[in-house]
C-alpha cells in the first residue's frame, strides 16, 4: 500500500464505507435522520466562556497504537461531561482507531451535550450516517477534500442542523476553510502525511484566523503546560484524546485544563 498515511487511512475508509452502503441504503439513512431529535448546537457549546474542551473517546491511534481498551464508552463520556467537556468526540474509524458507530450510539444515549462523529469524511453518505446516529458535529479534513467537496459537505452538514469541525494543517488549508465559511476551524499540529507532531505549527496558523471563530487546537496536548500554551496562542478550544483516555481521572483533568487556560489568558 503506497501513499501518505492519510492516503492509506482513506483507502481503508472507502472500503469500509462501501460495505456499509451495501447494507444500509442512503434512503434508509434519510428515514433514520427524520426520526432523530434535532441536533444540539455544538457551535454555541464551543462558544461558551473559557476554553472549551472536546474530549475524545479514542482506543488507539496510528502513531501510538493501543491507548486504552474503553470497554464502556458511555461511562467514559459521562465522566467527560461531568468534568466540564463542551463536546465529546467519538472515533468511528475502525481499522486504525478501533472505533465503531456503536460507540457513537452508546455515547449519544449517555450524555446531553453535543457529540462529534470523528472520522475521515469522503462521501456525503457519511454525513447522513452521522446525523442518523445522533451526531451534532462532523469532522471535515481540508487535506482530504477538494474545494467543491468541502463546500458541498459543509452545506449538507448545516442543512441537517449540524456543525462541522473543519481541520487544517497549513496556511493554504486555513485559507480554503475560510473561503467556504467555516466557523469552527481546527489547527491540527500532527502532520497527517508523517504523523509527526510539531506544536510550533499552531500559533502562526491561529493568527490567520479572524476573531469570532472557534479555533480548535488539535493534537499535542500532553499536560496542563500544553493547554496553557495553546490558550495563550489563540485557541478557544482544544481537542484531547490520548491524555484523557490514559488518565484514571479524566473528569478532574478536564477541569484542570480549563482552569489553567483561564489563567493563561
Report the catalytic residues: 56, 58, 118, 167, 188, 218-219
DSSP string for 117-186: EES---SHHHHHHHHHTT-SEEEEEGGGS-HHHHHHHHHHHHHTT-EEEEEE-SHHHHHHHHHTT-SEEE
**Do the Cβ atoms of 118 and 98 come closer than 8 Å?**
no
Quickly list DSSP for 72-86: -HHHHHHHHHHHT-S
Total residues belonging to the chain: 265
* Beta pairing partners, 188: 218
Grid coordinates representing 24? 444500509
Q: What is residue 199's DSSP assignment? A: G
Amino acid at each position: 500500500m503506497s501513499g501518505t498515511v492519510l492516503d492509506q487511512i482513506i483507502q481503508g475508509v472507502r472500503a469500509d464505507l462501501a460495505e456499509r452502503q451495501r447494507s444500509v441504503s442512503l434512503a434508509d439513512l434519510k428515514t433514520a435522520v427524520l426520526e432523530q431529535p434535532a441536533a444540539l448546537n455544538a457551535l454555541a457549546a464551543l462558544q461558551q466562556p473559557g476554553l472549551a474542551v472536546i474530549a475524545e473517546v479514542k482506543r488507539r491511534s496510528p502513531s501510538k497504537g493501543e491507548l486504552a481498551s474503553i470497554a464502556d464508552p458511555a461511562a467514559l463520556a459521562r465522566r467527560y461531561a461531568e468534568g466540564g467537556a463542551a463536546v465529546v468526540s467519538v472515533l468511528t474509524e475502525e481499522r486504525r482507531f478501533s472505533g465503531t458507530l456503536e460507540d457513537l450510539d452508546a455515547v449519544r444515549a449517555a450524555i446531553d451535550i453535543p457529540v462529534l462523529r470523528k472520522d475521515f469524511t469522503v462521501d456525503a453518505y457519511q454525513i447522513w450516517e452521522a446525523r442518523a446516529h445522533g451526531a451534532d458535529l462532523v469532522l471535515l479534513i481540508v487535506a482530504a477534500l477538494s474545494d467543491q467537496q468541502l463546500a458541498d459537505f459543509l452545506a449538507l452538514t448545516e442543512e441537517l442542523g449540524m456543525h462541522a469541525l473543519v481541520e487544517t494543517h497549513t496556511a493554504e488549508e486555513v485559507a480554503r476553510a475560510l473561503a467556504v465559511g467555516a466557523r469552527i476551524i481546527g489547527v491540527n499540529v500532527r502532520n497527517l502525511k508523517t504523523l509527526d507532531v510539531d506544536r510550533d505549527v499552531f500559533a502562526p496558523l491561529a493568527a490567520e484566523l479572524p476573531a469570532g471563530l472557534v479555533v480548535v487546537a488539535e493534537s499535542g496536548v500532553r499536560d496542563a503546560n500544553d493547554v496553557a500554551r495553546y490558550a495563550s496562542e489563540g485557541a478557544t478550544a482544544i481537542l484531547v484524546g490520548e491524555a484523557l483516555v490514559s488518565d484514571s481521572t479524566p473528569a478532574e483533568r478536564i477541569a484542570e485544563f480549563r482552569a489553567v487556560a483561564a489563567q493563561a489568558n
